[in-house]
Amino acid sequence: MKLYIVSNRLPVKVSEQEGRLLFARSEGGLATGLDSLHTDYEKHWIGWPGFCPDGEECRRKTADELEALRFHPVFLTAGQIADYYEGYSNSTIWPLCHYFFAYTRYKASYREAYRAVNRLFCETVCRLAEPGDIVWVQDYQLMLLPGMLREARPELEIGYFHHIPFPSYELFRILPERAEVLRGLLGADLVAFHTHDYMRHFISTVERVLHLDFRLDEVQLGDRVVRVNALPMGINYDLYHGASQKPEVRAAVERTRRLFGSHKLVLAVDRLDYSKGILHRLWGFAAFLEHHPEYRGQVTLAMVIVPSRDHVGSYAELKTHIDEEIGSINGKYSTMDWTPVCYFYHGFAFEELAAMYCVADVALVTPLRDGMNLVAKEYIATKTDNPGVLILSEMAGAAVELSEALQINPNDIGQIERSLVEALTMPVGEQRRRIRDMQRTICTQTVDKWAADFLEELDATRRKNERLRRKRISVGTTAAVRAAYGRAKRRLLLFDYDGTLAALRPRPEDAAPTPELLDLLRRLSGDPANRVVINSGRDHETLERWFGSMPLSLAAEHGGFYKEAGVWHKNLRSAEWDGELLTLLQRFVAKTPRARLETKQTALAWHYRQSDAWLGSLRAQQLVNHLAPLCSRLRLQIMQGDKVVEIKSPDCTKGSEVERLLASERYDFILALGDDTTDDDMFRALSPEAVTVKVGNVSECATHNLAAQAEVLPFLREVTRGEAGPRTAASEGRKGLRLPLGFLKGLLKNNKTRHE
């Protein structure tokens, strides 16, 4: 099995010099982390090689050399790089996700280039990947790719990891094509983030923009679920922890010590980016030197800034400000034998960087917003005999794991200043203890474990989707149910109403039966072999108004009322609702915009379908918490359904109504359909041999699944369209039969047992 890692860039950069191709390692935590990944899969990488070949011959030669390394290039034009990468990716998505709204730029050409390049990546994956292969899409430059792949190659196992922050709904909603981007991400089986905050923001945004409902960490889309998780990325711990033992690193350590002499070394390593808080860090260091003159000549700040997008306007402007600030500090405080800020505007080889980690007394990692930040983990991992202190922004994803760092708000210049003093005066014993505690965390949460956890979660999602698809009603299943329906002498057909026979509506009173539904029910109830029952939570007055003229059996308010032979019967006395209970419910109506209270004779229902998704869910949980002691005292049951909290007597359920029906008559065919958690009571009351169908989300209590309410009437029409011939039915049943073993035999035995 092959694992295709798909990212904007390959882990190598290619350049051409005098007709020769030169390969260099790509900068960045993603390339570094995933390139060192150990996995049992045959690992391939798809991405842009970092340059635009001049001519077809150069392109072919580049592709041949890269593919020998299992690197599959996606060649982009200079215009695509300008609009897709520098434009939409880094001038629209990047600032938006990092909360720099003022830097966000919108252009139609950016969006079109982004779509086109994502399509190019899709075509490359489709050309290479085979059924059973895993496609792991990386990061914000390719957010449309999972959806494109799902449409083109639905059999692929697709994962997506978002390596930058995912902003709150209030910010992401600003993006004009927000729905398109979210649908693209939901093409994956698993969408993962570095922290639970980003995961929470994503779920909230999907619920509000696409009006989909998550159940904990999952949302169902048709015949599959998409799972969302938080998986913090680690580093190759052994590589960094053992670095000081390498001769070339030891030599680099000696050079570094000679360079900085006896000065205390504060190290900062970043890409050039406004999200990294580089200017804030310099302002904090300037305040430190101004207010603590005793450290002048004693402490040096080594600023390593890796060039990145410096031809983008906002980045070029940032570099100018950084250069000016460093010049100002050095001009004000430097002496003949001391420079306060040593500035390196280039990347370092691993050996040189590891040496700086080893020597540095303090690592100053203070991004204003960061997905993870692996520099913090690399610094901690490299420490062995020599102590050190990590000053870490609480806005970095790594702050969740590295609780023993000195965590600061990077916008607070005074706090940066104070943390430097605290770090430089921290006892060596405490430094070592903090380092050890953080190393215990990052030595287990490595990049290999991160990848293994992701792939394990992805595989678990795949297995769940396979189980779901097995429950999904197929052509063969429908044929087998139709054959059993045609042979049966006495049938019981049980239907929930809202969400099953009729689509859910924001206003329940708008969900009146359509002419198409009424025609179907007339036909089914007109067959003397059928007993058709609408088993609903609706009030009986509404059901009577809609269906009273039909020869149907009706059950209302979860079995509190039922109608047989044209007569309504009441299972429960009409409730005299407790004043405290009504006051509580009305209070929650008042503080939840668009919520409403439905008062029935045997139940109370607090609906929040029209409310904001996040607020409605919050209020529902708060309401249940308030109701629990009160309903326990009043001997009432609390039921949480689809956007509704219902309070009723525990003596009647949809399941108790089914038991009543089965006690009065024998059936050799039973079909039950429902969409809500309350319908699970109905499914549980039936024997395993009954055909039970959950509409929407899959239920463990039902044997089959229809993905959407729109499929219900076509399914019922097909099942009941007439008795199939024995030969055809048998052959169709063998092709796709998914009914429980011993379907007819079990039904007969079950009903016989019930009545003996």
- Tens digits of per-residue pLDDT, 574-587? 667 788 888 999 99
Enclosing H/E stretch for 159: strand 157-162
pLDDT tier, 728 (very low <50, low <70, confident <90, very high otherwise): very low
**Do both 58 and 41 map to the same domain?**
yes
Angle, helices 374-382 vs 428-442, to 10°: value is 120
**Do both 598 and 560 map to the same domain?**
no
- Tens digit of pLDDT for each residue in 542-555? 999 999 899 999 99
**Do both 41 and 111 map to the same domain?**
yes
- Tens digit of pLDDT for each residue in 212-236? 888 889 998 877 899 999 999 999 9
The mean pLDDT of 2-15, rounded to a whole number, is 89
**Do both 59 and 194 map to the same domain?**
yes
Q: Is residue 465 part of a domain?
A: no
Q: Is residue 642 part of a domain?
A: yes
* pLDDT score, position 743: 46
* pLDDT score, position 311: 66
**Do both 506 and 617 map to the same domain?**
no
Task: Decide: 691 and 670 in contact? Cβ < 8 Å.
Answer: yes
Nearest Cα residue to 681 out of 494, 437, 518, 461: 494
**Does the annotation mark 496 as catalytic?**
yes
pLDDT at 558 over 80: yes
**Do both 592 and 558 map to the same domain?**
no
pLDDT at 725 over 50: no
The mean pLDDT of 251-264, rounded to a whole number, is 92
pLDDT at 595 over 80: yes
Nearest Cα residue to 346 out of 303, 304, 300, 375: 304
Q: Is residue 661 part of a domain?
A: yes
Q: What percent of the chain shows pLDDT beyond 70? A: 92
**Do both 481 and 546 map to the same domain?**
yes
- Tens digit of pLDDT for each residue in 68-94? 889 999 999 999 999 999 999 999 999
Token pair 């100002």: residue: 328
**Do both 188 and 114 map to the same domain?**
yes
pLDDT at 314 over 90: no
pLDDT at 325 over 70: yes
* CATH classification at residue 745: 3.40.50.1000
Please list the helix, strand and coil fractions of the chain in percent, rounded to the nearest 5, in that order.
50, 20, 30
Kindly name the residue from 83, 496, 668, 680 that is annotated as catalytic: 496
pLDDT at 102 over 60: yes
Per the model's pLDDT, the better-predicted residue between 707 and 311 turns out to be 707
Task: Decide: 305 and 278 in contact? Cβ < 8 Å.
Answer: yes
The mean pLDDT of 368-377, rounded to a whole number, is 94
Alpha-helical runs (H) found in 635-706 = 654-664, 679-685
Where in the sequence is the domain holding 298, given as residue range(s)?
237-445
The mean pLDDT of 508-520, rounded to a whole number, is 91
Domain boundary among 230, 253, 285: 230
Q: Is residue 115 part of a domain?
A: yes
pLDDT tier, 731 (very low <50, low <70, confident <90, very high otherwise): very low
Residues 6+ positions from 708 with CB-CB distance below 8 Å? 222, 695, 696
* pLDDT score, position 532: 95
Tally of domains in the chain: 4
pLDDT at 650 over 60: yes
Nearest Cα residue to 409 out of 361, 367, 379: 367
pLDDT at 740 over 60: no
pLDDT tier, 486 (very low <50, low <70, confident <90, very high otherwise): very high
* pLDDT score, position 31: 60
Domain boundary among 230, 255, 275: 230
* CATH classification at residue 624: 3.30.70.1020
* pLDDT score, position 310: 66
pLDDT at 430 over 90: yes
Q: Is residue 269 part of a domain?
A: yes
- Tens digit of pLDDT for each residue in 662-679? 998 899 999 999 998 889
Enclosing H/E stretch for 17: strand 12-17
pTM: 0.80
* CATH classification at residue 194: 3.40.50.2000
**Do both 179 and 251 map to the same domain?**
no
Domain boundary among 169, 197, 230: 230
- Tokens representing 480 are 């087998």
pLDDT at 302 over 60: yes
Q: Is residue 532 part of a domain?
A: yes
Residues 6+ positions from 37 with CB-CB distance below 8 Å? 43, 447, 448, 451
3-class SS at 90? Answer: helix
Alpha-helical runs (H) found in 129-177 = 145-152, 169-172
* pLDDT score, position 752: 42
Q: Is residue 672 part of a domain?
A: yes
**Do both 637 and 665 map to the same domain?**
no
Which segment of 43-57, 222-236, 714-728 scores lowest on mean pLDDT? 714-728
Q: Is residue 457 part of a domain?
A: no
Which segment of 22-31, 254-263, 381-390, 608-617 scores lowest on mean pLDDT? 22-31
**Do both 566 and 531 map to the same domain?**
yes
**Do both 214 and 152 map to the same domain?**
yes
